[in-house]
Structure 1
Amino acid sequence: MNDRKAELETLRADLKARLSRFEAHQHREGGALDKDFEEQATQTQNDEVVDSLETETRTELAQIERALERINNGVGDECETCGEAIDPRRLQVLPYTTLCVDCAED
């Protein structure tokens, strides 16, 4: 479980760094919009992509935080729905999961 916890902590740090870059982009820390209208259109489209990526990153970060909380409480390998053990192979592939395969499918 310590390997999984370390992996989750590394993932959490990576996601937080990614969020910082997204926020820097949205606050135009690299500079204001270009004066060229076509370039502005491209930059605006990029903003929409960054917004979507930020949402996905925040969702994944919340899942990681939840998994770490469960590990710290000593129930990280148990399904939070049925209480059965989560298959270790599932945890290898999806370290932040809190559900066994059966409950995830429901």
Structure 2
Amino acid sequence: MSDRKLVLEELRIDLAERLKRFQAHQHREDGALDPDFSEQAVERQNDEVVDGLENEVRAELIKVNRALERIEEGIGDECEKCGAAINPERLKVLPYATFCVACAGATAAPGQGG
């Protein structure tokens, strides 16, 4: 198994565990809201932060799964847009990258869409 695939699988496990913790928090598995209203306000603010973190983890998990699918298809090191090889240094830093630097920059540019 490639080092990158191993890193991605470990990352997927880590992200799934984080999601479980965030969901447990959101479902109040550790207990109901504090009866004190000021404490409830703080807890609700924390809920908003956890919601944001959960959304970020879900988005990262989608990227990890996509990269693993592409590796299984034998195209994991190719840019999803132009087909060029993705720089190995980029993949070390961002193992779930599916675009080369040029295409990632073009995709992120204003007016270019997702």
After superposition, the C-alpha distances for 1:43-62 in whole angstroms (9 at most, x for unaligned) are 00000000000000000000
What is the aligned residue count?
106
- 1:54 aligns with 54
Name 1:41's counterpart in structure 2.
41
Where does structure 1 lack aligned partners over 5 or more consecutive residues? Answer: none
- Which string of whole-angstrom CA distances, capped at 9 and with x for unpartnered residues, describes residues 60-102 of structure 1? 0000000000000000000010000000000000000000000
TM-score, normalization by structure 1: 0.99
Runs of 4+ with deviation above 4 angstroms: none
Give the equivalent residue in structure 2 for 1:80. 80
Secondary structure of residue in 2 paired with 1:80? coil
Cα deviation, residue 30, structure 1: 0.3
Tell me the residue number matched to 1:65: 65
Q: Return 5+ residue gaps in structure 2 as ranges.
A: 107-114
